[in-house]
Chain A
Amino acid sequence: MEKVYAAGIGQTPVGEHWDKSLSNLSSAAIQLALNNSATLHVDALYAGNMLASSASQQANLGTLIADNAGLTGVETFTAEAGEASGAAALRMGYIAVHSGLVRTALVVGVEKYTDAVGPEMAAETASGLDYDFEAMYGLTPEAQAGLLTARYLHTFNPPREALGAVSVLAHKNAVGNPKAMYRRAISPERYAAAGLPGDGLNMYDIAPYADGAAALLLTSDKKIAEATGGGLIELLASQSAVDALALHDRPDALAFSAVTASVHKALARARVEWAQVDLFELWDAFSIYGILSVEACGLAARGEGWRWLAEIDHSPAGDMPLVTMGGNKARGFPIGAAGVYQAVEAVVQLRGEAGENQVPGAKTALVQSMGGPASNVFTHIFARS
Chain B
Amino acid sequence: MEIPRHWRLQKQRYALVGEECPHCSAKIFPARDVCPECGGEAKEPFRFSGRGSVYSYTVMNNAPAGFEKTLPYTIALVKLDEGPTVTAQLTDLNDEEVQIGMPVEMVTRRIKEDGDERGMLIYGYKFRPVMG
Given contacts A138-B60, A140-B62, A150-B100, contact A132 B67 (CB under 8 A): no
Residues of A within 8 A of B9 (CB): 132
Partner among B61, B64, B68 whose Cβ is within 8 Å of the Cβ of A197: B61
Return the CB mask of B28-47 against A: 1 if under 8 Å, else 0.
00100000100000000000
Given contacts A138-B73, A150-B57, A198-B72, contact A123 B64 (CB under 8 A): yes
Q: What is the number of contacts between chain A and chain B, taking CB atoms within 8 Å?
A: 107
Residues of A within 8 A of B85 (CB): 248-249
Query: Once the chains are docked, how many angstroms separate the CA of A133 from the CA of B65?
Result: 16
Is the CB of A185 closer than 8 A to any CB of chain B? Answer: no
Given contacts A136-B124, A139-B87, contact A151 B62 (CB under 8 A): no
Residues of A within 8 A of B (CB-CB), count: 35
Query: Once the chains are docked, how many angstroms separate the CA of A199 from the CA of B59?
Result: 5
Residues of A within 8 A of B73 (CB): 138
Query: Once the chains are docked, how many angstroms separate the CA of A118 from the CA of B64?
Result: 8
In the assembled complex, the CB of B72 is this many whole angstroms from the nearest CB of chain A, namely 6
In the assembled complex, the CB of A125 is this many whole angstroms from the nearest CB of chain B, namely 8
Residue of B nearest to A197 (CB): B61
Known A-B contacts: A119-B67, A136-B112, A142-B60. Give 17 more (CB < 8 A).
A122-B65, A136-B124, A137-B75, A137-B89, A137-B111, A137-B124, A138-B63, A138-B89, A138-B112, A139-B87, A140-B63, A143-B58, A147-B57, A150-B56, A151-B100, A154-B56, A199-B62
Query: Once the chains are docked, how many angstroms separate the CA of A118 from the CA of B100?
Result: 31
Query: Once the chains are docked, how many angstroms separate the CA of A292 from the CA of B88?
Result: 23
A151 & B89 in contact (Cβ 8 Å cutoff): no
Is the CB of B22 closer than 8 A to any CB of chain A? Answer: no
Chain A 208-263 residues near chain B, CB threshold 8 A: 244, 246-249, 253
Residue of A nearest to B126 (CB): A137
Return the CB mask of B76-105 against A: 1 if under 8 Å, else 0.
110000001111110000000000100000
Query: Once the chains are docked, how many angstroms separate the CA of A148 from the CA of B30?
Result: 21
Query: Once the chains are docked, how many angstroms separate the CA of A148 from the CA of B77?
Result: 10
In the assembled complex, the CB of B84 is this many whole angstroms from the nearest CB of chain A, namely 8
Residues of B within 8 A of A139 (CB): 75, 87
8 tightest A-B CB contacts, nearest first: A146-B58, A198-B61, A119-B65, A122-B64, A123-B64, A151-B56, A248-B85, A123-B65
Is the CB of B115 closer than 8 A to any CB of chain A? Answer: no
Residues of B within 8 A of A126 (CB): 64
Query: Once the chains are docked, how many angstroms separate the CA of A61 from the CA of B16?
Result: 39
Residues of B within 8 A of A345 (CB): none
Return the CB mask of A133-169 against B: 1 if under 8 Å, else 0.
1111111101100111111001000000000000000
Given contacts A150-B100, A198-B72, A247-B87, contact A135 B64 (CB under 8 A): yes
B58 & A150 in contact (Cβ 8 Å cutoff): yes
Q: A132, A142, A148, A253: which has the most chain B beta carbons within 10 Å?
A: A132
In the assembled complex, the CB of B1 is this many whole angstroms from the nearest CB of chain A, namely 14
Chain A 107-125 residues near chain B, CB threshold 8 A: 118-120, 122-123
Question: Can you list 10 A-B contacts (CB < 8 A)?
Answer: A134-B87, A138-B75, A139-B75, A140-B60, A142-B62, A199-B60, A247-B87, A248-B84, A248-B87, A249-B36
Residues of A within 8 A of B119 (CB): none
Query: Once the chains are docked, how many angstroms separate the CA of A248 from the CA of B56?
Result: 10
Given contacts A123-B66, A197-B62, A248-B77, contact A136 B86 (CB under 8 A): no
B58 & A154 in contact (Cβ 8 Å cutoff): no
Given contacts A138-B73, A143-B75, A247-B77, contact A120 B65 (CB under 8 A): yes
Q: B64, B67, B85, B111: which has the most chain A beta carbons within 10 Å?
A: B64
Residue of B nearest to A122 (CB): B64
In the assembled complex, the CB of B113 is this many whole angstroms from the nearest CB of chain A, namely 12
Residues of B within 8 A of A100 (CB): none
Is the CB of B122 closer than 8 A to any CB of chain A? Answer: yes
A132 & B30 in contact (Cβ 8 Å cutoff): yes
